[in-house]
Amino acid sequence: MYRRNGIATPQFYCSKIGAYGSVITIGNKQFHYWAEDFMSAKTLDDLEIDLEDLGSEFLYQVGACVGSMHSAAKREGIEFTWSSPYVLLDPDEENYNDALTWYEKLRHSPADVRLVEEIWEIYNRKREYLEAIFPSLPAGGVQGDFSTNNILVNEEKGFAGIIDYNLAGNDKFVTYMMQEGIFLSFECYREEWLDREKCAYMEQRFKHFYIGYTQQYSLTDAERGAVSILYNIIRPFRMDKVETTLHIAEEGLWQEVNERLRWMHYELTREDILAFLEN
């Protein structure tokens, strides 16, 4: 169905009984298998291309693909009987678990515990708001894993398609877009950047991703209203940000930890994201 909507992705084939997948038992283990087209293009990881070495136009193309997939899913009613594994607000989802680990490790530490408590209170307040509006956000089937080992590139290093539906499932379209967009635009770099100049550069890359997405998928008012708060709770609490902060804390570098806390507070409380993305 995605291919019928112009999306470059493998075609999956039905069996004679109309099933797209089957199960075979070998020993005491069950294995799922299916048949799909071979895509000749290579992934970013296959070609050892770092995403940071590709321009913002590439992120625009990726965003447009995600938007096209979500439009097709919404229009065609593409749904699964299960959720994608990274659905925000699901029980045991990683965003909250990472945030909770961060809080438990720092609340009684030599870090600025007043700031830790303030960040934790704001984070939970924003999650509660998101929980209240979550039912109003459109949902459907998503690919589930727009990572560099699944993104195909052509010989000109342009976007050539997406593969791998092993993590596909249902999700809220806007939360999936924000999580994948933040990962691709802010996390896929050889080294971490937190200074304002470099962050502004990455924000421009995210803006290109967002523009590509919204040119193919029309956000509802409820989805637009969720963009900033999704950014607030996702961006500073990505797993790598939490793990790096806790690693620095283990080394006893509390001044650096406090600098990271101030950065987290800034990103958590920003109110300018939607205006920046749409102007």
Beta bridge partners of 153: 42, 159
Q: Name the pLDDT band for 19 (thresholds 50, 70, 90).
A: confident
Say yes or no to pLDDT of 15 above 90: no
Residue 218 has pLDDT above 80, yes or no: yes
Q: Please enumerate in sequence order all residues whose Cβ is within 8 A of that of 267, keeping only pairs 6 or more positions apart, or say none.
A: 231, 232, 235, 236
Q: What is the pLDDT of residue 191?
A: 93
User: pLDDT-based confidence at 33, cuts 50/70/90?
Assistant: confident
* pLDDT for 122: 99
Higher pLDDT, 93 or 265: 265
Domain ranges for the chain: 40-278
Residue in 133, 140, 19 with CA at minimum distance from that of residue 83: 140
Mean pLDDT across 35-45? 93
What pLDDT shows up at residue 177? 98
pLDDT digits 0-9 by tens, 200-210: 999 999 999 99
Q: How much is the average pLDDT of 103-122?
A: 98
Q: What sections of 1-49 are H helices per DSSP?
A: none
Residue 12 is predicted with a pLDDT of 85
Residue 5 pLDDT grade (very low, low, confident, very high; cuts 50, 70, 90) = confident
Q: How far apart are CA 180 and CA 173, in angstroms?
A: 11
171 band by pLDDT with thresholds 50, 70 and 90: very high
Long-range contacts of 95-100, Cβ-Cβ distance < 8 Å, separation of 24 or more? 95/233, 95/234, 95/237, 96/127, 98/237, 98/238, 98/239, 98/242, 98/243, 99/123, 99/233, 99/237, 99/242
At 153 the pLDDT is 97
CA distances from 139 to 73, 154, 222 (A): 9, 31, 12
- Residue 60, pLDDT above cutoff 80: yes
pLDDT in tens, 229-268: 999 999 999 999 999 999 999 999 999 999 999 999 999 9
What topology does CATH give the domain 40-278?
Aminoglycoside 3'-phosphotransferase; Chain: A, domain 2 (3.90.1200)
Q: What is the mean pLDDT of residues 168-197?
A: 96
Q: What local confidence, expressed as pLDDT, does residue 34 receive?
A: 81
pLDDT band at 162 (very low <50, low <70, confident <90, very high): very high
pLDDT confidence of 199, banded at 50, 70, 90? very high
pLDDT for 20 beyond 80: no
At 113-122, the pLDDT tens digits run 999 999 999 9
- Between the alpha carbon of residue 166 and those of residues 38, 80, 143, 150, the distances in Å are 16, 12, 8, 11
φ/ψ (deg, to 5) at 191? -140, 160
Residue 132 pLDDT grade (very low, low, confident, very high; cuts 50, 70, 90): very high
- The average pLDDT across 116-136 equals 98
